[in-house]
Amino acid sequence: MEVTLLIQATDDSFRILEDARKQAKGLLDSASILEDARRQAKGLLDSTVGVTSETRQMEKQKIQAIFKGAQEAKSGFQNFIATFALLFVFWILLSGKFDPFHLTIGVICSIVVAHLTHDLLFANVRVGETRVIVQRFIAYIPWLIYQIILANIYVAYLAMSPRMPIDPQVLRFSTKLESDISWVTLANSITITPGTITMDIKDGEFFVHALGKRVADDLHAGEMEDRVAHIFMEADHIYIQDALDVARIYVALRK
């Protein structure tokens, strides 16, 4: 009897252990299912976040492209106006005629040329606004006219002097200017000043024909080069006004 009870108790114990094992296995399986569900949910959430971030990035890029396009359009229009103003001023200076016919022709030609070349004239400008550059160029014109008057007087003296102290020579010098527009401005300034003609420019090296020693010395002094550098804010020619202008621009951008 006791043996029968012992065997029955042992079977009951094994059965209880087996049920407990099955329940534990079921709990583990449930936990595994929950973990898989959690991972899937996390994956879906990560995918959603990734898509949202990508969408936001695309929207941000679109907005930046819109602002960049608007800024380029504004810059292109400013360059067009500046180019037209420069061309028309040179037209007036070189033609010397102020009747309606010649002024109208000048306006038409300046508009056509500015439309074709406005993206080239200021292509190498690195620092500063176009408006600042135009203002500086306009301020440069009176000084250039004064130099032209002085050069005219000197050339007249050379031509009318009994000794004819003419000493023609070809000057060769390397400029500190860096941009194409500053080279062109300096070359034209030299050419329209009586007594000097820019013959050629090669890799920043100028070849200039000078009629006399005085004009050659004035050219070697480099004042014209410095003033042209001041217009375009060349890095090798830093002026106090450059710092003031850049500071004003920086403050305006910070607002």
DSSP state of 163: T
Instruction: List, for residues 20-54, the tens digit of each pLDDT value.
Output: 566 656 655 666 666 776 777 666 656 655 545 66
Position 232 in a domain = yes
In a domain, 15, yes or no: no
How far apart are the C-alpha atoms of 222 and 201, rounded to whole Å?
Answer: 16
In a domain, 11, yes or no: no
The structural domain count of the chain equals: 1
Per the structure, the complete domain to which residue 196 belongs is given by 128-255
SS3 252: helix
Q: Which residues contact 47 (CB under 8 A, 6 or more apart)?
A: none
Q: Does 178 reside within a domain?
A: yes
Q: Is residue 19 part of a domain?
A: no
Residue 1 is encoded by which pair of tokens?
């009897």
Question: What is the residue-averaged pLDDT of the chain?
Answer: 75
User: Residues 123-176: pLDDT tens digits?
Assistant: 555 444 667 887 888 899 999 999 999 999 988 888 888 877 788 899 998 988
pLDDT top residue among 64 and 109: 109
Of 3-17, 62-76, 123-137, 160-174, which has the strongest mean pLDDT? 160-174
Q: Kindly state whether residue 2 falls inside one of the protein's structural domains.
A: no
Q: Could you give the count of Cα atoms lying within 13 Å of 169 in the half-sphere of its Cβ? A: 14
Could you tell me if residue 215 is inside a domain?
A: yes
For residue 69, being part of any structural domain is answered with: no
Is the whole-model pTM more than 0.85? no
Q: Is the pLDDT of residue 185 over 70?
A: yes
